[in-house]
Amino acid sequence: MAWLDTLQGSGIRPGLGRMRAVLRVLGRPQNAYRSVIVAGTNGKGSTSATLASILTESGYTTGLYTSPHLVDIRERWAINGALIDPALLDASIERLRRASDESGITPTYFEAMTLIAFIAFREARCEIAVLEVGMGGRLDATNVVRPVASLITPIGLDHTEFLGNTLRKIAAEKAGVIHRGTILLTSNCDAAVLDVLRRRAEKFGDRFIVVRDEHDTPLAGDFQRHNVALAVRAARELRSILPKITTASIERGVARTRWRGRLERIAIGGKSIWIDGLHNAHAAEAVAPFIDARIARPRLLVFGIMRDKNVERVAQILFPKFDSIIATDPYTPRSAPPEELVAIARAMGIDAIVERQPARAFERAMRSRCDNIFVGGSLYLAGAAIESFDAKRKRGDENQ
């Protein structure tokens, strides 16, 4: 873990050359099992978790790789629905460290996370892995596999400094996860995006499926039905090569899906706290109807966001839905200054204050007169909220 920490701050260095070189030294562990790759702007994690749950319930040893983690780094690697065993994680990191020394290549932090997934899933004898793309697709560290299926969730404008400033350009980067012999499934409905994806699929003669139907889901939010539908349709299409998938195992997998920090509700101290890692305008637009329909007023928002996001647009979508706002700083090097968020809110006529430390912001929210509290704007903030409120609940249980 200390060695991994030395990779923090390595930044984003798109390209697959480093990954392939280290994987050669490791004996290409990514080829030891089948893979499904999941790209998109929002909904990747929920879709990946649902499909992995279905595959596990179908009797397949299943690896799930997602990012980032909210509280515990082990969240990034799950095997059959359980966080990676600490001993397996330690062994996988050590294997990677030795391979890095042997190859003379120091991976970026995200590349290291991905390489650990490939190593650990081979050691655990996984039969299939579900891999969530970190950013983009074409040059993402996950895109060294030849997937049996590529899933692409809705695409919006995000990471424009790396992926391009139009939907077509971003879609072209995401489409890089489509390879020859892959089934392509997408829940996108934008005509320009679909045109880009279709052209890429046609280039390789791949099946191209646009998923429109909806499916019941234990995950909150209408938009989650589309994520679940995408995972369910993928599972059905995979039955030709994974025959243990059945209607019953699909239903069990959907019902048992748990994905924290995505419209997660915690009831504590007579208040309802909703936590969502919405981190861009596309996600805010998806969550907004849920807030209107399901969360009664008065509502309080605890908000913090990274400064490289379209802060003004997210604020325009979210702020008017709340009666008061506490602005905080979830990740100091990258956060938008809380004072700027307060200025935006006050310009809209909304009561707003600064509480820089997230833990204090949550405490202040709990002392407010609002019974409905929404925490959002960043996955870092969602993770801090889960850690804080989980600890509060645990203390409450211990005191009973």
Q: In terms of Cα–Cα distance, which of 291, 122, 152 is closest to 227? A: 152
Q: Answer yes or no: do 352 and 379 share one domain.
A: yes
**H or E element: which one contains 78?**
strand 77-79
Q: Answer yes or no: do 222 and 330 share one domain.
A: no
Out of 226, 255, 284, a domain closes at 255
> What is the crossing angle of helices 167-174 and 191-204, to 10°?
30
Using CA atoms, how far apart are residues 69 and 74, in angstroms rounded to an integer? 8
Q: How many domains is the chain partitioned into structurally?
A: 2
Q: Answer yes or no: do 280 and 192 share one domain.
A: no
Domain that holds residue 40: 2-255
Q: Answer yes or no: do 60 and 139 share one domain.
A: yes
CA distances from 213 to 24, 46, 163, 288 (A): 41, 17, 29, 21
Q: Answer yes or no: do 302 and 158 share one domain.
A: no
Out of 255, 279, 295, a domain closes at 255
pLDDT at res. 291? 94
Q: In terms of Cα–Cα distance, which of 249, 174, 226, 314 is closest to 43? A: 226
pLDDT at res. 159? 61
pLDDT at res. 198? 96
**Cα angle value 23/27/30 (rounded, 5°):** 60
Q: Answer yes or no: do 43 and 160 share one domain.
A: yes
Q: Answer yes or no: do 141 and 78 share one domain.
A: yes
pLDDT at res. 162? 64
Q: Answer yes or no: do 219 and 291 share one domain.
A: no
pLDDT at res. 359? 95
pLDDT at res. 192? 92
Question: From first to last of its 400 residues, what are the pLDDT tens digits of the chain?
Answer: 899 999 987 677 878 999 999 999 999 999 999 999 999 988 899 999 999 999 999 999 999 999 989 999 999 999 999 999 999 999 999 999 999 999 999 999 999 999 999 999 999 999 999 999 998 889 999 999 999 999 999 988 766 566 767 889 999 999 999 999 999 999 998 899 999 999 999 999 999 999 986 557 556 555 578 899 999 999 999 999 999 999 999 999 999 998 888 889 999 989 999 999 887 888 899 899 999 999 999 999 999 999 988 899 999 999 999 999 999 999 888 899 999 999 999 999 999 999 999 999 999 999 999 999 999 989 899 999 999 999 988 877 544 4
Q: Answer yes or no: do 135 and 97 share one domain.
A: yes
pLDDT at res. 304? 96
pLDDT at res. 212? 82
CATH of the domain at 152: 3.40.1190.10
pLDDT at res. 219? 60
Q: Answer yes or no: do 294 and 231 share one domain.
A: no
Out of 255, 285, 308, a domain closes at 255
> Do 178 and 204 form a contact (C-beta atoms < 8 A)?
yes
Q: Answer yes or no: do 59 and 22 share one domain.
A: yes
Q: Answer yes or no: do 106 and 202 share one domain.
A: yes
